[in-house]
Chains A and B, each alone.
Chain A
Amino acid sequence: MTAAGSPALTAAADPDQGRRRPYLTWLGVVPFFAYVGIFLLLPTAIILAGSLVAPDGSISLSNFEGIAKPFMFTSFVNSIEISAVSALVGAIAGAILAYVVATGNPQGLLRRAVMSAAGVFAQFGGVTLTFAWLATLYTTGIVYIFLKDHGLDIYPGGTIWLIDLRGLTLIYLYFQIPLMVLVFIPAIDGIRPQWREATESLGGNTWHYWRYVAGPLLLPSFLGCTLLLFANAFSAYATAAALLTQGGVILPLQIQALLTSETGSVQPGFAKALALAMIVVVLVVMSLYTVLQRRTSAWLR
């Protein structure tokens, strides 16, 4: 056997090998950074630059003052409110569903059916989702008419809550709950049955198990997933645009109005300032999410 015939030896003998490897590693992440750069950083930079251009063309922070206007502030609060409510309700309902599924047979029909359904519904949104709800529950919808014929008016007093913020929150739950199932189930899967057995062999009951073992393990993941759901609802646009056709009462619709108004209220700079404010909110939420995910992954491996 000669030294030249052994690849391992040849490689070890090549003095350039050590220097070349980091270069190649760097090449490997180029597509990722190019993707992030073009689709995330570049639009953010465009929004940032545009938000600093005042209506008269000068560079100033005046666009940001508009956020304090009462009607705009109300929209901000509305956006946060529907995102928070739909995230909390979605997280609790989704977590319960995920727990039910995860504690069942891993290869069972229930789990496979729920996971496939969740995968589909978590991506169902926009105009089609709004249409589905209106066709079902609006005053001309089939379910509404059926219920009314059987003595149940879901709009007592004629207040059609489906087309205001309450309806929007309900419709958001349609994709929030499945998303929660998808993102929370890995955490539940990470809980080992042996830990419960260990708790019991040490004299603990179910309360002790949840309070001191499973609860603390799942809580960071639960909170993290709730934040993810918040960001998901906060940044949703098409569903709301199709549902709330009058008086944009949440931020994404205010931005739309500022960009498409045909009555002399077009303010692209102000729209970009609002978009930047939304980016900041999502950035804060997602940073917290990352911190919590890190805590979770330390335990659940």
Chain B
Amino acid sequence: MNWHRFHRLGLAVAAVLIVSACGSTSTAGSTDWSKQTSASAGGGMDALVAAAKAEGKLTVIALPPDWANYGAIISGFKAKYGIDITSLNPNGSSQDEVNAFDGTSRAPDVVDVGQSVALANTAKFAPYQVATWGDIPAGAKESTGLWYNDYGGYMGIGYDSSKVPAITSVQDLLGSAFHSKVALAGDPTKSNQGLNGVIMASVANGGSLDDVSKGVDFFHQLKLKGNYVPIVGTDATVKAGQTPVLFEWDYLSASHGKGVPTWKIFVPSNAIIGGYYSQAINKAAPHPAAARLWEEYLYSDEGQNLWLKGGARPVRQAAMTSAGTIDATAAAALPSVPGTPQVPSGDQTSKASAYVVANWSQAVS
């Protein structure tokens, strides 16, 4: 009778059954890498590389190729170690990543998640310390290695300078030149990037990391003026000209310059909101050695410089700058930061999220 429901439900359940039927465990030679908390503890880098090559596969999740240069990082890892990478659900959320920890051989081995998700799911992660562990600042990692910041950046407002006037403050966006042009790069009721955009708007309008209400009010004003575009901005919408003004991480905004040469980034000096993502290894990773080798690669000079080339600020940037191993050209190309950044804590993010979830749809619809 109700075909649509039967059909969809049936597919979903069938998919679950198939996935769970494929479950199996993998072995990793003589050393059980799923228990190792560093490469040296498991017999050194060479042993790790050998074990990872024996596994031959790595599963990553929610890594869009145009996000922080992940496309180049994935091909770089494949070329260097000859390990095949399965990239699941490239546009998924951080929560989708840990939701995919289903105990099967198809589960992701490693994740790249926002602060809130990292803090809430430590029980699902395996502690591991990369060789360059000492370079990661103490505040940017969990002390045993359950999670560790990988790269970050600041919230910016990307805009197509051929379509709108130069932006000098967040309040400019309320002007008539921005009619039907301003969008967020995520749904703030569930996306980390979207929420940080609202937090930035709040701080720029007299709010604070603890008070996101001014940001919601600001988007309400944008809505009333007809300036707000209720779609999630992506590389595609920027190219199509649907979202010529976009609240997003500066390093993601930078990538739009490839398709839209007139693309510029504005970071408000009165509201510099920083945010780092974190790496973590699935405790039940189907390919435990490859997972650890992936982390070693990401935190090597090579991996860190690849992120930097994508416009993201790698967590070892300070240490690599003093050591002289940083890619100086890429570092010089980063947008300048006109003030002191503020970084919302996990707690502040949760509170802001609760407020936005309760008030967002009313403010912008």
Contacts and interface: CB of A to CB of B under 8 A. Distances in A.
B221 interface: no
A262 B361 contact: no
A283 B6 CA distance: 14
A264 B364 contact: no
B20 interface: no
A39 interface: yes
Contacts of A232: 2, 4-5
A262 B191 contact: yes
Nearest to B184: A246
Given A69-B358, A247-B230, A266 B4 contact: no
A125 interface: yes
A262 B190 contact: yes
Interface string A55-89: 00000000000000111001100000000000000
Interface in A117-154: 122-123, 125, 138-140
Among A236, A246, A248, residue most surrounded by chain B Cβ atoms (within 10 Å):
A246
Max chain B Cβ within 10 angstroms of own Cβ: one of A69, A123, A158, A245: A245
What's the interface size class on A, roughly?
35 or more
A297 interface: no
B9 A266 contact: no
Given A246-B184, A260-B99, A228 B10 contact: no
B70 interface: no
Interface string B322-365: 00000000000000000000000010011011101111111011
A192 B214 CA distance: 67
B362 A71 contact: yes
Contacts of B120: 264, 266
A257 B357 contact: yes
B8 A264 contact: no
A224 to B, nearest CB: 10
A246 B229 CA distance: 9
Interface string A28-44: 00000000001110110
B187 A245 contact: yes
Interface in A238-260: 244-249, 256-257, 259-260
A101 B269 CA distance: 66
Given A158-B226, A164-B230, A228-B2, A263 B350 contact: yes
Interface in B1-35: 1-6, 8-10, 12-13
A195 B242 CA distance: 58
Given A71-B359, A164-B230, A246-B232, A263 B114 contact: yes
Taking chain B's interface residues, is the majority helix, strand, or loop, or is none over half, making it mixed?
helix
A246 B9 contact: no
A138 B358 CA distance: 29
Nearest to A236: B4
A25 interface: no
B44 interface: no
B260 to A, nearest CB: 14
Contacts of B113: 262
A140 B362 contact: no
B189 A261 contact: yes
A235 B226 contact: no
A257 B99 contact: no
A158 B224 CA distance: 12
A258 B195 CA distance: 15
Interface in A3-60: 38-40, 42-43
Contacts of B192: 262-263
A266 B116 CA distance: 10
A261 B95 contact: yes
A160 interface: yes
Interface in B116-133: 116-117, 120
Contacts of A260: 92-93, 95-96, 99, 190
B57 interface: no
Contacts of A286: 1-2
Contacts of B177: none
Given A38-B13, A262-B190, A266-B95, A247 B5 contact: no
A168 B19 CA distance: 33
Most buried by B among A40, A159, A265: A265
Interface centre among B93, B120, B180, B190 (most CB of A within 10 A): B190
B190 A263 contact: yes
B240 interface: yes
Given A247-B361, A249-B361, A264 B2 contact: no
A113 to B, nearest CB: 21
A261 B360 CA distance: 14
A31 to B, nearest CB: 14
A277 to B, nearest CB: 16
Nearest to A126: B8
A282 interface: yes
Interface string A269-298: 000000000000010001001000000000
B231 interface: yes
B179 A158 contact: yes
A39 B3 contact: no
B255 to A, nearest CB: 19
Contacts of A159: 226
B94 interface: yes
A123 B8 CA distance: 11
Interface of A: 38-40, 42-43, 69-71, 74-75, 122-123, 125, 138-140, 157-160, 163-164, 228, 231-232, 235-237, 244-249, 256-257, 259-266, 282, 286, 289
9 contacts: A39-B9, A39-B10, A164-B230, A256-B190, A259-B95, A263-B349, A263-B356, A286-B2, A289-B1
Given A235-B2, A247-B230, 11 more contacts: A42-B13, A43-B9, A74-B361, A140-B240, A158-B180, A231-B5, A235-B5, A257-B189, A257-B357, A262-B94, A262-B95
